[in-house]
Amino acid sequence: MFTIQTYSPQETIALAKRFAAYLNPGTIIALSGELGAGKTVFAKGVAIGLGINEHITSPTFTIINEYDGEIPFYHMDTYRLSDESEALDIGVDEYFNYSGIVLVEWPEQIETLLPAECIRVNIKKGWQDDGREYRIIEFTAKGHKLEKLMGEFVENEIAGN
Ligand SMILES: Nc1ncnc2c1ncn2[C@@H]1O[C@H](COP(=O)(O)OP(=O)(O)OP(=O)(O)O)[C@@H](O)[C@H]1O
Ligand SMILES: [Mg+2]
Q: Give pLDDT tens digits for 18-69.
A: 999 999 999 999 999 999 999 999 999 999 999 999 999 999 999 999 999 8
Judge whether 71 and 101 are in contact, CB under 8 Å.
yes
Tell me the fold of 2-154: Rossmann fold (3.40.50)
* Residue nearest to ligand 1 atom 10, measured at CA: 9
12 lines ligand 1 (CB under 6 A): yes
Give the pLDDT of residue 160.
87
Distance of alpha carbon 18 from alpha carbon 156, whole angstroms: 9
45 lines ligand 1 (CB under 6 A): no
Q: 152 — phi, psi (to 5°)?
A: -70, -40
78 lines ligand 1 (CB under 6 A): no
pTM, 2 dp: 0.97
* Residue nearest to ligand 1 atom 6, measured at CA: 9
33 lines ligand 1 (CB under 6 A): yes
Tell me how crowded residue 21 is: count the other CB atoms within 10 A of its CB: 12
Sorted by where each begins, the domain ranges of the chain are 2-154
Query: Which of 40, 62, 78, 121 is the pocket-test mutation for ligand 1 (most atoms within 8 Å of CB)?
Result: 40
Non-local (6+) Cβ contacts of 161 within 8 A are: none
